[in-house]
């Protein structure tokens, strides 16, 4: 099949590479010439394990074509995907301007036959109906369209694996022809098929991210109780999760969730709920607890650190990605710099993105131990594998003071204290 993907971010580029890898011809439409130039040369521009190899292989096989014009791509395609960003506006609602701009561009370039236009961007209920109207209002004579919502569930850091092996493929459409084409495109992928209407498909994505965010905030809420009582949040959650109705998956106490999805999607669902007259108290609490988790961590650091030099391990919002959008690290680094602390940080993928925000106000180093050396306290903010079994004897010897704040609960508090660390986990005695 020949398809077009508009947007080449975490969702667009990974989807394009995977569909091309299955033998499809995939056009990728972008709007930033320098990024397109790098992509054409096989540079994936984002960090995602395995992406560079897949990109280069499919460019070489001529199945992946990057362009800044819609004309050839859209006319050549049976399905056109929209994968552009839907960032939060200041009131928490989703900014859909890129989705609508792209929909209009797609419409004007449609071939005089049937084309499916499918939104993979996360968009509030009703957006696909608006996209359908834009397409119908702007399409040339002879062209016919159907919209199909196909929300994306990949996780940064394991995006290729998630796309190749999804738990489910959700297809929302009122058009049997569109559903048939979408099922055909996805036929080589495993996972359950959920064929539904547009509204359900749109809501499934927000509901999924909101329950995941809720699990994290719930774990953090319990950690606040633990902090006040001497209970151990990991032991509490382990035991809670042994109940098969509950499970332990994704109940993480820590400095809170970040990234380009959970914060904005919880806020956008809150906004949709308000507009629909649905009580969104639960969603607001999820967001509030998340803010409190990072503020509480900062307060503990400010109270307990003696000295102005702070080392940080991990900046990305989660391991195996360079993405720092809404990462707790951005908030924490910003606040600490404002308060006059000197920050030296290490992250194996996200340093360049952090540099774009803080410039020379932060020292970024190429090795973990260089962030540790001479620090009055060490903050671990992302659970990258390389920190889990780091040589803690060496860490202690390099620190000016053996003070460690474990924002992801990756170390054993008993062992850390036995080693002579002043150790502060999240909700752990
Ligand atoms: N990142 C994730 O883990 C993830 C997972 C599931 C769903 N989503 C959703 O998918 C969508 C995209 O997310 P992302 O992380 O890939 O975003 P991203 O910021 O990495 O990429 C967005 C892409 O859209 C392009 N773009 C923006 N405006 C454009 C325009 N007018 N014309 C052409 N291209 C344009 C950008 O250049 C970029 O390539 C969002 O709605 C997001 O919520 C993201």
Q: Encode pLDDT of 212-222 as tens digits.
A: 999 999 999 99
Residue 11 Cα to ligand 1 middle (Å): 6
Q: How confident is the model at residue 205 (pLDDT cuts 50, 70, 90)?
A: very high
184 and 311, same domain (yes or no) = no
The pLDDT tens digits for 152-198 are 999 999 999 999 999 999 999 999 999 999 999 999 999 999 999 99
DSSP-assigned beta bridge partners for residue 377: 310
Whether residues 48 and 185 fall in one domain = yes
- The answer to whether residue 258 is domain-embedded is yes
Residue 72 covered by a domain: yes
Nearest to 302 by CA among 239, 201, 379: 379
- Report in angstroms the alpha-carbon separations of 19 from 24, 25, 48, 266, 306: 6, 8, 16, 29, 53
pLDDT value for 139: 98
Q: Is 12 in the pocket of ligand 1 (CB under 6 A)?
A: yes
Angle between helices 328-338 and 351-358 (to 10 degrees): 40
- Domain of 22, CATH number, reads 3.40.50.720
| 152/217 same-domain check | no
Are 120 and 260 in a shared domain?
Answer: no
CB of 44 sitting under 6 A from ligand 1:
no
Cα separation values, 370 from 195, 217, 306, 426, Å: 52, 33, 20, 25
Residues 299 and 370 in one domain: yes
In this structure, the answer to whether residues 248 and 379 fall within a common structural domain is yes
Q: Quick one: DSSP state of residue 140?
A: P
Cβ neighbours of residue 170 closer than 8 Å, sequence gap 6 or more: 149, 150, 151, 153, 194, 196, 201, 204, 205
User: DSSP label at 359?
Assistant: G
pTM comes to 0.96
User: 194 is written with which tokens?
Assistant: 């959920």
- Provide the 10 A C-beta neighbour count for residue 38: 14
> What percentage of the chain exceeds 90 in pLDDT?
100
**DSSP code string of 48-95:** -TTHHHHHHHHHHTT-EEEES-SHHHHHH-SEEEE----PBPTTS-B-
Atom of ligand 1 nearest to the CA of 11: 16
Q: Are residues 151 and 66 in the same domain?
A: yes
Average pLDDT over residues 360-370: 98
Closest residue by Cα to atom 20, ligand 1, is 9
Q: Rounded to the nearest whole angstrom, what is the distance from the C-alpha of residue 120 to the centroid of ligand 1?
A: 9
Q: Quickly count: other Cβ atoms within 10 Å of residue 132's Cβ.
A: 18
Q: What is the mean pLDDT of residues 313-337?
A: 98
Both tokens of 245, joined, read 């109705």
Residue 10 in tokens:
């975490």
Q: Which residues are catalytic?
A: 261
Q: Do 225 and 355 share a domain, yes or no?
A: yes
The C-alpha atoms of residue 79 and residue 233 are separated, in whole angstroms, by: 48
Q: What is the pLDDT of residues 61-91, one digit of tens each?
A: 999 999 999 999 999 999 999 999 999 999 9
Find out whether the beta carbon of 101 lies less than 6 Å from any atom of ligand 1: yes
The answer to whether residue 204 is domain-embedded is no
**Quick one: the chain helix, strand, coil %, rounded to 5?**
45, 15, 40
SS3 329: helix
**420 inside domain:** yes
Tally of domains in the chain: 2
Q: 293 and 235, same structural domain?
A: yes
Q: Are residues 98 and 129 in the same domain?
A: yes
Gap between the Cα atoms of 160 and 52, Å rounded: 11
Residue position matching structure tokens 């702070």? 310
d(C-alpha 344, C-alpha 364), whole Å: 6
- Do the beta carbons of residue 114 and residue 18 sit within 8 Å? no
Is position 429 within any domain?
no
Region 14-37 average pLDDT: 98
Give the full edge-to-edge strand order of the sheet including 403-406: 363-364, 342-346, 309-313, 377-380, 403-406, 422-424
Query: Which residue(s) pair with 81 in the sheet?
Result: 5, 118
- Indicate whether residue 15 lines ligand 1 (CB < 6 A): no
CA distance 337 to 335: 5
Q: Assess whether the C-beta atom of 163 lies below 6 angstroms from ligand 1.
A: no
Q: From the CB of residue 91, how many other CB atoms can be counted at a distance below 10 Å?
A: 8
Residue 205: inside a domain: no
* Of 7, 8, 37, best ligand 1 pocket probe by most atoms within 8 Å of the beta carbon: 7
Reference 395, options 370, 413, 417; nearest CA is: 370
**What residues are paired with 119 via a beta bridge?**
82, 149
CA distance 257 to 39: 30
60 is a domain residue: yes
Question: Which among 195, 213, 120 is positioned nearest to 159, based on CA atoms?
Answer: 120
Question: Could you tell me if 184 and 328 lie in one domain?
Answer: no
C-beta atoms surrounding 78 within 10 Å: 17
* C-alpha to C-alpha distance for 242 and 10, rounded to whole angstroms: 34
Contact 1, 184 (CB under 8 A): yes
Please state the length of the chain: 429
Average pLDDT over the chain reads: 98
Residue 290 — very low, low, confident or very high, per pLDDT cuts 50/70/90?
very high
- Ligand 1 centroid–CA 152 distance in Å is 11
Residue 6 lies in a domain: yes
Q: In which domain, by residue range, is 42 found? A: 2-196
Distance CA(249)–CA(88), nearest Å, equals: 27
Does residue 314 share a domain with residue 236?
A: yes
Tens of pLDDT, residues 390-408: 999 999 999 999 999 999 9
Per-residue pLDDT band at 415 (split at 50, 70, 90)? very high
The pLDDT value recorded for residue 275 is 97
- What is the chain's alpha carbon radius of gyration, rounded to the nearest angstrom? 23
Question: Which among 140, 172, 196 is the end of a domain?
Answer: 196
Q: Which residue, 148, 164, 196, sits at the end of a domain?
A: 196
Residue 271: pLDDT band (50, 70, 90) is very high
């Amino acid at each position: 099949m020949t398809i077009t993907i508009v947007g080449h971010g975490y969702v667009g580029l990974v989807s394009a590479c995977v569909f091309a890898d299955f033998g499809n011809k995939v056009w990728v439409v972008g709007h930033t010439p320098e990024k397109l130039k790098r992509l054409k040369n096989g540079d994936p521009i984002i960090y995602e394990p395995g992406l560079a190899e897949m990109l280069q292989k499919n460019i070489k096989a001529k199945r992946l074509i990057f362009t800044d014009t819609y004309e050839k791509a859209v006319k050549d395609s049976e399905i056109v995907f929209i994968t552009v960003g839907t960032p939060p506006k200041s009131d928490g609602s989703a900014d859909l301007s890129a989705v609508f701009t792209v929909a209009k561009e797609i419409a004007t370039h449609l071939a005089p036959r049937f084309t499916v236009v499918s939104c993979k961007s996360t968009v509030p209920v009703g957006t696909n109906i608006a996209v359908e109207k834009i397409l119908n209002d702007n399409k040339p004579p002879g062209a016919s369209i159907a919209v199909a919502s196909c929300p994306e569930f990949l996780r940064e850091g394991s995006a290729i694996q998630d796309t190749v092996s999804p738990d489910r493929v959700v297809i929302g459409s009122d058009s049997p022809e569109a559903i048939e084409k979408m099922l055909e495109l996805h036929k080589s992928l495993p996972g359950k098929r959920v064929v539904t209407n547009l509204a359900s498909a749109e809501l499934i994505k927000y509901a999924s991210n909101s329950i995941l965010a809720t699990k994290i905030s719930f774990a953090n809420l319990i950690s606040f109780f633990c902090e006040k009582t001497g209970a151990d949040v990991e032991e509490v959650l382990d035991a809670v999760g042994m109940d098969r109705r509950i499970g332990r998956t994704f109940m993480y106490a820590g400095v809170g969730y970040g990234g380009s999805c959970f914060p904005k999607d919880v806020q956008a669902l809150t906004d949709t709920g308000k507009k629909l007259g649905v009580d969104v108290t639960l969603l607001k609490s999820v967001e509030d607890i998340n803010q409190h988790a990072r503020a509480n961590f900062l307060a503990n650091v400010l109270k307990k650190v003696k000295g102005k030099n702070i080392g940080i391990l991990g900046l990305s919002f989660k391991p195996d990605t360079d993405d720092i959008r809404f990462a707790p690290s951005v908030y924490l680094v910003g606040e600490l710099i404002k308060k006059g602390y000197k920050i030296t940080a290490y992250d194996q993928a996200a340093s360049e993105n952090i540099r774009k925000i803080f410039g020379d106000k932060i020292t970024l180093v190429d090795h973990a131990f260089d962030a540790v050396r001479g620090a009055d306290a060490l903050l671990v903010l992302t659970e990258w594998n390389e920190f889990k079994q780091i040589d803690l004897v060496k860490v202690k010897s390099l620190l000016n003071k053996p003070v460690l704040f474990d924002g992801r609960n990756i170390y054993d508090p008993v062992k850390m204290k036995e080693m002579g660390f002043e150790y502060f986990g999240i909700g752990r005695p």
